[in-house]
Amino acid sequence: MPSSQSCFWTKVFLLYEEKSYGRKEIGMRHNLEKIRDEAIENISKVKDLEHLERLRLKYLGKKGELTRILRGMGDLPAEERPIMGRLANEVRTLIQVQLDKRRKELEEKLLEYRLREETIDVTVPGKKIERGNLHPLTSVCNEIAAIFIGMGFEVVEGPDVELEYYNFEALNIPESHPSRDVQDTFYITDEILLRTHTSPVQVRTMEEKDPPIKIIVPGRVYRSDDVDATHSPIFHQIEGLVVDENITMADLKGVLDVFVKELFGERTQTKFRPHYFPFTEPSMEVDATCVTCGGKGCRVCSDTGWIEILGAGMVHPNVLKYGGIDPDRYSGFAFGLGLDRIANLKYGIDDIRLLYENDIRFLRQF
Ligand code: FA5
C-alpha cells in the first residue's frame, strides 16, 4: 500500500484507540481493515476483467462485504456512526480507486493483445472457396433443352408416379406387351406404376392443349432392369412431341438432324432405321456417326461407325385419338432419347453406374 495511505489509516486507528471504543466499534473497524487489505491484494493479482468484476461485486456490490458491514452500523452508539460511516466510505473509495486502476491496466493489456494478434496479414494467401459444378446429367439435359428451345419447343414435365393408362393404354401398348410385365415395371397398385418412359406426357399434354403442340419432356424413368454398364433401374429420358396440321416425316428428320449436329458437332451424320414402337407409325431408331471415331469404327461403336441415340416415329393415329385430337386433321412426330447414354457418349464415360455413385472425384471432372 502507498505510504500516504498507510499513514492515513494509522492516524484513523490511533484516533479510535485513544477514544477507547467499545467492542462492537473495534470489531467493525477490524473487519473494515480486513476487507480493505484483502481487496487491495486480490485486485492487484487479478488477471482478467471478468474476474475483476466478480471482485467488485464481492466487496462493493449490493450484497457485498462492505454493504453487509454498513448494515451493522445501526447497532453502534449514535455519536460513533458518522465516524464509522466516514471510515467505511474511505474504504469504499479506496477499493473503488484500486478497481478502476486495475481495470484500466487490464483494458490496455487486452487492447495491446488484440492489436498484436488480430492484425490482418494481407499477404497471406486466401482460403479458396470450392466451386461446385452441375452433375453431367444436368449439364447435358440443359444443353439438349437449350437446343430444342432454340427451335421453338416448350419444356413440360409429368409425374414419375403414373397411371397405367397413360404409361401403356393411351400409348396404344397392348395388354400383351412385354413392358407391361411385372418383371419389367415397378407397379405400386394394378393401376399405378413408376413410369417406364417419358411418353405418357404425350397424351397428358394433348388432353390439356390444342395443336400446335411442340414440347420436350425431360424426366426420370424406372424399369426393373438389372444393373450393368449400360443399364440402370432409374435413368433419364427426354421426350419430344410435335403435333400440328401437315406434320410429316421430313419435319421429324429435319429437327433430329439439326439436334444431333448441334449436340455432337456439324459433321455428325444421322441414319434412320425402321423399328417398331406401338405408339408411332412408322417408327424408327436414329443413329449418329460415332462421336469417338467420327464414323471410322472403334470400340465405342463396336466398329460400326454408328451409335444408336434415340427412338422416334410419326404419332400413331390411335394415340392422337386418346389425346382428343382428330387424326384426320392433325399429324405429329415424337421421339425419346436416353439421356444417360447421351451424357456418357458426350463425356466419354463408359459405365452408367458412375453417374449414380456420387463419387465427388468423378463428378468434379465435368
Ligand atoms: C422408349 O422408351 C420410347 N418411349 C422412346 C420413344 C418415344 C420412341 C417417342 C418413339 C417415340 P426405349 O425403350 O427404346 O424407347 O428407350 C429409349 C432409350 O432409353 C434407349 O435408347 C436407351 O438409351 C434408354 N434406356 C432404356 N433402358 C435403359 C436402362 N435400363 N438404363 C439406361 N438407359 C436405358
Q: What is the pLDDT of residues 27-76, one digit of tens each?
A: 788 888 899 999 999 999 999 999 999 999 999 988 888 888 888 778 77
138 alpha carbon – ligand 1 mean position (Å): 18
Instruction: Report d(CA 195, CA 271) in Å as an integer.
Output: 28
Query: Which residue, among 211, 209, 197, has the nearest Cα to 246 in the 3D structure?
Result: 211
CA of 337 to the centre of ligand 1 (A): 6
Q: Which residues does a 6 A CB cutoff place in the pocket of ligand 1?
A: 197, 199, 223, 225, 231-232, 235, 237, 239, 277, 280, 311-313, 334-336, 338, 340-341, 352
- Nearest C-alpha to atom 3 of ligand 1 is from which residue? 336
In order of start, what are the domains of the chain with their CATH numbers?
4-117 (no CATH), 136-363 (3.30.930.10)
Place of cell 422416334: 312
Strand, coil or helix: 4: helix
Q: Is the pLDDT of residue 25 over 80?
A: no
Q: Find the 225 Cα to ligand 1 centroid distance in Å.
A: 12
* Substitution candidate for ligand 1 out of 168, 172, 197 with most atoms within 8 A of CB: 197
Which of ligand 1's atoms lies nearest the C-alpha of 342? 23
Mean pLDDT across the stretch 85-94?
89
Distance CA 236, CA 218 (A): 7
Res 100 pLDDT > 60: yes
**Residues of the chain by 3-state class (helix, strand, coil), percent to 5:** 50, 20, 35
pLDDT, one tens digit per residue, over 171-201 is 999 888 887 887 789 999 999 999 999 999 9
CA–centroid distance, residue 122 to ligand 1 (Å): 56
For the whole model, what pTM was predicted?
0.69
Q: What is the helix (H) or strand (E) element at residue 361, kind and residue range?
A: helix 360-363
Could you report the per-residue pLDDT of 151-175, keeping only the tens digit for each?
Answer: 999 999 999 999 999 999 999 998 8
State residue 1's pLDDT score. 46
The CA distance from 153 to 146, in Å, is: 9
CA of 134 to the centre of ligand 1 (A): 24
CA distance 158 to 168: 15
CA 227 to ligand 1 centroid distance, Å: 15
